[in-house]
Amino acid sequence: MIAHNLGYPRIGSHRELKKACEQYWSGKTTFKNLLQVGKNLRQENWLLQKQAGIDLIPSNDFSFYDQVLDMSLMAGAIPERYHDVILNKSNVELDLCFAMARGYQKDGLDITAMEMTKWFDTNYHYIVPEFHKNQSFKLFSTKVIDEFYEAKQLGIITKPVLIGPVSYLLLGKEKEEGFDRIDLIKNLLPVYIDIVKRLDKLDVQWIQFDEPFLALDLSEKEKKAFAQVYNEIRKEIPSVKILLATYFEGLRDNLAIVKSLPVNALHIDLVRDAGQLTPVIGAIPERMMLSLGVVDGRNIWKNDFSKSLTFVEKAKTALGEARVMIAPSCSLLHTPCDLDLETTDTILLPEIKQWMAFAKQKLKEVVTLKKLSLPETKASAQLQLEENIKAIESRRTSSRIHNPTVKQRVAALTDADAKRQSTFTVRKKKQQDALRLPLFPTTTIGSFPQTIEVREWRAKLKKGELTPQAYEQHIKAETEKAIRWQEEIGIDVLVHGEFERNDMVEYFGEQLQGYVFSKNGWVQSYGSRCVKPPIIFGDVSRPNAMTVAWSAFAQSLTRKHMKGMLTGPVTILQWSFVRDDQPRSVTTNQIALAIRDEVVDLEKAGIKIIQIDEPAIREGLPLRKADWNEYLAWAVKAFRIAASGVKDETQIHTHMCYSEFNDIIESIADMDADVITIECSRSQMELLDAFADFNYPNDIGPGVYDIHSPRVPSKDEMVYLMNKARAVIPAEQLWVNPDCGLKTRHWEETRKALIAMVQAARELRTPVAVSR
């Protein structure tokens, strides 16, 4: 039996990599120092895994930026626009890597960065490979070989990790028409073969090929590519042991492909799909070992040993002990580094902490599970098993987690709770009478620039250098300034600016029961950027109103409508570490009820327009299309539960950004928000065609400018875009707004852009000046 790991977090337990990279980028440290930080991190991680008792330790899981980008560099898939960067003598390979990831403005060059997108359904973002017709590949970066060699010098024979060739191509994008990137496989394969041969010469034993696409829907052509690739590699290098890693979903119909591949081991994710164990055991041929992904690589909960052992037992009985491997479900990249660093009891209560495991602790779990599965070592791990059983039992029965009132309330939900009192047509009329808004009403998405001062106040409050009263005074003054300014330039529906919020999920998490926060639970999001997701550990409830005081204060300062601002239940769920002891839908409904109470309280406090943001609704979609409907049904319902406690006159907005909405447009309509503000400007309103084709019934505010750029759009541009919108959607349905919150912008460009936006709306109104 082998205990192995698929990948370890590379940021360092104190985010050493982030700091070193950022210092290098700003010229504060040398290239040599940066390399040294990387080297230290790799060594630390290898030794840590060795000491933990991991038999097969991964290498090439380290990256200064992103493992997909590393793969592009390895295969020489370097877009032409970076060729000048390579030629520049003072640059090294890593500079090229950073140029591709971040763009390059130096030596008179101005080269844009490559696109970045989400790694499957995680919050990790990778750099999207760019492909051209008949593209050729050539080994460029030898990173994987260098790192294998580096570990070997330390006496560790690692298992190099490579993104498998099929998945690598599928992760990329065709940059011109008229070809299918999967057809590039014949050009790409020689590079992989070259690499494997070189590793073979260095006496590599195992190589891990990550092929996560085997857990997704595949076309026939894509399916065929797998056989071609692995047969070819096997033919060229018969001796190397290949571990084929799949994760994030079950194999389902793709098991038929996998079982015939000439690989030595198959890794499956039993956290996401435990049901696949039986069919996989029944299907794989004798030459194949089976790696059981039992320790959750995507979450922070302690493994339930008793449950995992039943899986191991089953595999052992069917395949024999020698063919079984134990591992985390996927790379540990997606978990924070080390629970031992959480020492401040006030942040993570000891009772809750004992239910958790971060990456370092998960390594131990894998090793302990192996010990418990072998008769000769079983006794030595008995104590750990007993402790584990106790911890699992304590979590199962803890009164901190279980709140009967919340559970009853969710159980008692009916369809009527997810329905507004009247249909949209009736509501629209009543809202027009109540709100008296002009045609093409203007609004913003919620946040205004969070200046250095605002951030400093919050930092000082945390450190105790500012009293809560003084902090509040500052924020109030900032809010009032924002309101006065919106009045002055003539925005129709105002926002208070969200200055009191650090983050749109954390702000609510901090006020909800059932949430905890780690002090150091950082996870890489992209490059040097890390996030610290809040943790939902128990039944969620709202002990007190969360935003009412701020919204009521803001409304008291103006006679214009002040929009209440909330984060929706699906987004709150999506951006947190969630419970694994109940379905996500149940947790979402608990959050939905908390938000519903907040919506009702805002209405009571005199707020007539309330926005419930759901930017993450699209990214929560399951990886397999067959599972979409089930998810969309509960996600939409949760939004409706949150939104439906108010009277017809109260106008509910929602906001979404940065995803493809075309394929879920019906579900978006089903959310039945009175107004949706949505990202559109980057796609030049193309998205609106979907809304028009579908005949989207409610009101829409297609974002008229891209807030992710400091560029100030002109009034004419915005009029042009809105006219495009008006061509496909009746004017009576249209709102005018930016495409997202303005938090990351500076006041200077924000002022100019919004003044132009209001002017644009005024111009749009003139030819058909009808009152709304």
Residue 385, H or E segment: helix 382-397
- Segment interacting with ligand GLN, rule: CB under 6 A, options 243-251, 371-379, 442-450, 553-561: 442-450
Return the residues of window 362-381 that contact Zn ion according to CB under 5 A.
none
Looking at the Cβ atoms of 75 and 657, the one nearer to Zn ion is: 657
- Segment interacting with Zn ion, rule: CB under 5 A, options 198-206, 320-328, 510-518, 651-659: 651-659
Instruction: Give which of Zn ion, ligand GLN, none residue 212 binds (C-beta under 5 to 8 Å, depending on kind).
Output: none
Cα separation, 500 vs 476, in Å, equals 9
The neighbouring-strand residues paired with 402 are none
CA dihedral sign, ordered 727, 728, 734, 740:
negative
Instruction: Give which of ligand GLN, Zn ion, none residue 348 binds (C-beta under 5 to 8 Å, depending on kind).
Output: none
**Could you tell me if 389 and 306 are in contact, meaning their C-beta atoms sit under 8 angstroms apart?**
yes
Strands 159-163 and 58-59 turn out to be parallel
How many residues sit in the footprint of ligand GLN (CB under 6 A)? 13
Cα separation, 685 vs 588, in Å, equals 31
Q: Indicate which single residue of 212, 297, 568, 615 sits in contact with ligand GLN (rule: CB under 6 A).
A: 615
Return the residues of window 502-531 that contact ligand GLN according to CB under 6 A.
504
Cα separation, 18 vs 301, in Å, equals 25
125 is an active site residue: no
Minimum gap (Å) between residue 504 Cβ and Zn ion: 9
Looking at the Cβ atoms of 598 and 648, the one nearer to ligand GLN is: 598
Looking at the Cβ atoms of 99 and 675, the one nearer to ligand GLN is: 675
Q: Is 687 in the site for Zn ion (CB under 5 A)?
A: no
Q: Indicate which single residue of 130, 210, 613, 674 sits in contact with ligand GLN (rule: CB under 6 A).
A: 613
Q: Is 144 in the site for Zn ion (CB under 5 A)?
A: no
Q: Is 680 in the site for Zn ion (CB under 5 A)?
A: no
Q: Is 657 in the site for ligand GLN (CB under 6 A)?
A: yes
Q: Count the residues in the chain.
A: 772
Instruction: Give which of ligand GLN, Zn ion, none residue 447 binds (C-beta under 5 to 8 Å, depending on kind).
Output: ligand GLN
Cα separation, 98 vs 565, in Å, equals 37
Q: Indicate which single residue of 743, 757, 759, 764 sits in contact with ligand GLN (rule: CB under 6 A).
A: 743
Q: Is 445 in the site for ligand GLN (CB under 6 A)?
A: yes
- Segment interacting with ligand GLN, rule: CB under 6 A, options 211-219, 441-449, 470-478, 579-587: 441-449
> Which of 565, 578, 45 minimizes the C-alpha distance to 331?
45
Burial (CB count within 10 angstroms: exposed 0-12, middle 13-18, buried 19+), residue 543: exposed
Return the residues of window 556-585 that contact ligand GLN according to CB under 6 A.
565
- Segment interacting with ligand GLN, rule: CB under 6 A, options 92-100, 223-231, 443-451, 536-544: 443-451
Cα separation, 224 vs 228, in Å, equals 7
Instruction: Give which of ligand GLN, Zn ion, none residue 449 binds (C-beta under 5 to 8 Å, depending on kind).
Output: none
194 Cβ neighbours under 8 A, 6+ residues apart: 139
Q: Is 740 in the site for Zn ion (CB under 5 A)?
A: yes
- Segment interacting with ligand GLN, rule: CB under 6 A, options 115-123, 137-145, 166-174, 440-448: 440-448
Cα separation, 681 vs 442, in Å, equals 16
Please report the DSSP string for 146-196 in residue order: HHHHHHHHTT---EEEEE-HHHHHHHSEESSSS--GGGGHHHHHHHHHHHH
**Could you tell me if 712 and 753 are in contact, meaning their C-beta atoms sit under 8 angstroms apart?**
yes
Three-state SS string over 310-364 comes to HHHHHHHHHHCHHHEEEEECCCHHHCCCCHHHCCCCCCCCHHHHCCECCHHHHHH
Q: Is 447 in the site for ligand GLN (CB under 6 A)?
A: yes
Cα separation, 689 vs 402, in Å, equals 46
Looking at the Cβ atoms of 615 and 620, the one nearer to Zn ion is: 615
Looking at the Cβ atoms of 49 and 681, the one nearer to Zn ion is: 681
Q: Indicate which single residue of 58, 164, 297, 446 sits in contact with ligand GLN (rule: CB under 6 A).
A: 446
Cα separation, 521 vs 531, in Å, equals 8
Return the residues of window 240-269 that contact ligand GLN according to CB under 6 A.
none
Cα separation, 335 vs 580, in Å, equals 15
**Could you tell me if 651 and 676 are in contact, meaning their C-beta atoms sit under 8 angstroms apart?**
no
Minimum gap (Å) between residue 639 Cβ and ligand GLN: 15
Q: Is 655 in the site for ligand GLN (CB under 6 A)?
A: yes
What is the residue type of 552?
A: A
Minimum gap (Å) between residue 657 Cβ and Zn ion: 3
C-beta neighbour count of 734 within 10 angstroms: 21
Looking at the Cβ atoms of 342 and 500, the one nearer to ligand GLN is: 500
**Could you tell me if 466 and 487 are in contact, meaning their C-beta atoms sit under 8 angstroms apart?**
no
- Segment interacting with Zn ion, rule: CB under 5 A, options 112-120, 162-170, 264-272, 652-660: 652-660
Q: Which residues are catalytic?
A: 708
Which parts of this chain interact with Zn ion (CB under 5 A)? 615, 657, 740
Which parts of this chain interact with ligand GLN (CB under 6 A)? 445-447, 498, 504, 565, 613, 615, 655, 657, 740-741, 743
